[in-house]
């Protein structure tokens, strides 16, 4: 099918100004409006075409895109895709629906059961649960389907009936006058709340809503590798819908408790390993915590302050992909701040042996008092 030229649809030239576009659209709209041409599908199709043409050309940015790339530059996709169906000789039905929704002579039926509202809960996790995943139970109070009426809203033994106001369509239409003539607007029916059905004898348990509020236990599978502040989206796990409508979405906000032993950076963990001066100089085997229990780490002879020993695959499981992060062991050499006489003598002997200059021993009153203890 050949692509319809939007300027041709409005009957203007490609250099038409904004005022000229508006006048052309008003003229065409009065001529083709469905209320002026009842039971004329061809006129309704062309009305949709000129309406979309004006919507595009009256917007400077869309018009520039159209002038440069054609309709594909405005709509995206490729000819033959769903967005382009019925565009050529058949009309702009799909694109009109995208811009304006349903209109015109045909009245649609009810849009279907009204879905329940979304809900939010917070779930606390330990670092280990976040790292490896966990199955957690949540106690929540949410609207659930009424068992007494099987979520219909009608009292047991009774049924609903077609709404007299909207004749089962779920919407009512209003006619108003405008510069284009009579305009018809549709809105949800207030009597049946858009369902198309009314209930003469509501269920006494749920008062006609088809749902009641109750405490519910939900089991949530938390994937391995989640972070503090992340959110899980659980479709169909939220509140029950009105009169049998589908459940809404449950958003689970995750909070990971701080573990005093570790610092987390992405999927890597960091832990401090304090050692003595002697251990740093001579080497040692120290025990450090991991998420799976304590583990021994070899400290090499002559280890310097700030040394980091990496334990591969001891961190948090990657949320996307395989494997885990690493555990970084930060060696902290602790220098004693208080020494007994024997320890001080040994250190001074070592300093003398190595030819290292050190401060002389304290000989004041406080030093003498300390030595008498």
Only one residue has tokens 């001066």, namely 277
Two tokens at 34? 């469905």
Q: What is the DSSP letter of 372?
A: T
Q: How many separate helices (H) and strands (E) can be counted in the chain?
A: 10, 15
Rounded-to-integer distance, Cα 351 and Cα 34, Å: 103
Two tokens at 96? 């009109």
Two tokens at 257? 């408790």
- pLDDT exceeds cutoff 90 at 211: yes
Question: Quick one: pLDDT at residue 104?
Answer: 43
- What is the sign, positive or negative, of the torsion defined by CA atoms of 77, 83, 87, 90? positive
Map out the domains of the chain with their CATH numbers. 6-100 (1.10.287.110), 119-148+208-257 (2.60.260.20), 263-334 (2.60.260.20)
Question: Are 77 and 95 a contacting pair, CB within 8 Å?
Answer: no
Question: Would strands 268-276 and 327-334 be described as parallel, antiparallel, or unpaired?
Answer: parallel
Q: What is the pLDDT of residues 26-63, one digit of tens each?
A: 888 888 877 677 778 888 888 888 888 888 888 888 88
pTM of the predicted protein model: 0.62
Residue 337, class by beta-carbon neighbours within 10 Å (0-12 exposed, 13-18 middle, 19+ buried)?
exposed
Question: Would strands 284-290 and 231-234 be described as parallel, antiparallel, or unpaired?
Answer: unpaired
Question: Quick one: pLDDT at residue 363?
Answer: 66
Q: What is the pLDDT of residues 126-140, one digit of tens each?
A: 999 999 999 999 999
Q: From 213, 207, 105, 111, select the one nearest 153 (Cα to Cα).
A: 207
Task: Give the contacts of 335 (CB within 8 A, at least 6 positions apart).
Answer: 277
Q: What is the pLDDT of residues 227-278, one digit of tens each?
A: 999 999 999 999 999 888 899 999 999 999 999 999 999 999 999 999 999 9
């Amino acid at each position: 099918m050949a692509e319809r030229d939007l300027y041709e649809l409005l009957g203007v030239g490609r250099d038409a100004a904004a005022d000229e576009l508006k006048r052309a659209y008003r003229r065409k709209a009065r001529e083709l409006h469905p209320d002026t041409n009842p039971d004329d599908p061809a006129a309704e199709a062309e009305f949709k075409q000129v309406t979309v043409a004006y919507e595009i050309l009256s917007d400077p940015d869309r018009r520039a895109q159209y002038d440069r790339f054609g309709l594909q530059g405005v709509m995206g996709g490729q000819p033959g895709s769903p967005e382009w169906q019925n565009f050529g000789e058949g009309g702009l039905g799909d694109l009109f629906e995208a811009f304006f929704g349903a209109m015109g002579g045909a009245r649609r039926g009810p849009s279907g059961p009204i879905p329940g509202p979304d809900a939010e809960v917070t779930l606390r996790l330990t670092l280990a649960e976040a790292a490896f995943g966990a199955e957690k139970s949540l106690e929540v109070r949410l609207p659930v389907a009424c068992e007494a009426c099987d979520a219909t809203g009608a009292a047991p033994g009774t049924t609903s009936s077609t709404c007299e106001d909207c004749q089962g369509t779920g919407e009512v239409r209003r006619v108003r006058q405008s510069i284009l003539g009579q305009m018809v607007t549709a809105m949800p029916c207030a009597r049946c709340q858009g369902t198309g059905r009314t209930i003469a004898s509501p269920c006494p348990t749920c008062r006609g809503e088809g749902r009641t509020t109750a405490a519910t236990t939900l089991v949530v599978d938390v994937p391995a590798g989640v972070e503090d502040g992340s959110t899980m989206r659980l479709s169909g796990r939220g509140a029950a819908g009105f009169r049998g409508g589908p459940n809404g979405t449950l958003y689970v906000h995750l909070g990971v408790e701080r573990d005093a032993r570790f610092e987390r950076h992405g999927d890597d963990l960091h832990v401090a390993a304090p050692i003595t001066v002697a251990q740093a100089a001579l080497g040692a085997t120290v025990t450090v915590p991991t998420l799976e229990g304590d583990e021994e780490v070899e400290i090499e002879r002559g280890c310097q302050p700030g040394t980091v020993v990496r334990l591969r695959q001891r961190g948090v499981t990657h949320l996307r992909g395989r494997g885990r992060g690493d555990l970084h062991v930060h060696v902290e050499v602790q220098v004693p701040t208080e020494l007994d006489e024997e320890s001080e003598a040994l250190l001074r002997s070592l300093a003398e042996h190595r030819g290292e200059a050190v401060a002389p021993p304290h000989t004041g009153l406080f030093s003498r008092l300390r030595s008498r203890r």
